[in-house]
Amino acid sequence: MNDTTAQSAFRKWYRLLRSSRFWEIVAVAAIVTLAGNISFSAPIGETAALMLLHFAIAVVSSTVASFGIVFVSTILSRRLAVIPRFALAGLVASPAVFGVVFVLIAIAHRTVPDRSATLDLLVSVTIIVTAISLAIALFESRGESKAPTPLSVEPSQPQFVKRLPVELGQDLTRLSACDHYVEAYTRKGHALVLIRFSDALKELAEEDGLQIHRSHWVARTAVHRLVNEGRSLLVEMEDGARLPVSRSRLAAVRAEGFPVDGKDTRPPA
């Protein structure tokens, strides 16, 4: 076992011991084992001592058992499913738990349990360890069912797109500066958005487009062609609109590889 596996097991064990639901299951298991060993005709003091002993055994055995179960299941986490993994971990942990509890009872009674008592003890330990394995398996299954699926994560949209009216959709084609507003165009229409052009460009940093002029931004997928008009270069969009390209951005726009048509004299938008 490497350090990473050990640390992971310790973290799981620590979270388990802090869980109230885990101790509720341990308490139920202790009560079940206690019910088969109490004699109601015995003196109250003897019965109370027996109850305390069984609950102490439950606490110690659950602590030892959970430690062994968590470590074994962590080692086998990539080899078996949850239920088989914890069932096997419980079997592996049972002898260690039985040994610890056997010693505790021998110390408490100052004598070694006879064969009948040892058999009863083995049954009690098996019940408690099985309950603990089931409890941990339930916690593990619940954690795996809540784990997020990477395939279900949708890519986040640019902040500017979220500003658009719902009826325009989100397929942005171009932006044009208009005083303190930006006129945003999509394939469904256009609208004015109260935002500075420079701030709009920052919010579109991850969008597939480019700035062609100090007042214009276009989406690459919406560009139809480039049009040379004298010494000017225009970008013709799919909707027929034409936007000028500033001199400082000529090289960058030409480098995009858009189709070019040099014979056109219509004025730019």
Per-residue pLDDT, 47? 62
pLDDT digits (tens, 9 = 90+) for 189-217: 999 999 999 999 998 876 789 999 999 99
pLDDT in tens, the chain (269 residues): 444 556 666 676 677 667 676 667 666 666 665 655 555 455 555 667 667 776 776 677 667 777 777 777 777 666 677 777 777 777 777 788 888 878 877 887 788 878 888 888 788 777 777 777 777 777 666 654 444 444 444 456 788 988 999 899 889 999 999 988 999 999 999 999 999 999 999 988 767 899 999 999 999 999 999 999 888 999 999 999 999 999 999 999 999 989 988 554 444 55
Per-residue pLDDT, 9? 63
Three-state SS string over the chain comes to: CCHHHHHHHHHHHHHHHCCHHHHHHHHHHHHHHHHCCCCCCCCHHHHHHHHHHHHHHHHHHHHHHHHHHHHHHHHCCCCCCHHHHHHHHHHHHHHHHHHHHHHHHHHHHCCCCCHHHHHHHHHHHHHHHHHHHHHHHHHHHHHHHCCCCHHHCCCCCCHHHHCCCHHHCCCEEEEEEECCEEEEEECCEEEEEECCHHHHHHHCCCCCEEEEECCEEEEHHHEEEEEEECCEEEEEECCCCEEECCHHHHHHHHCCCCCEECCCCCCCC
Q: What is the C-alpha separation between 211 and 194, in angstroms, rounded?
A: 19
Per-residue pLDDT, 26? 65
What is the residue extent of each domain of the chain? Answer: 3-147, 159-261
Q: How far apart are the first and last CA of the chain?
A: 70
CATH class of the domain at 159-261: mainly beta
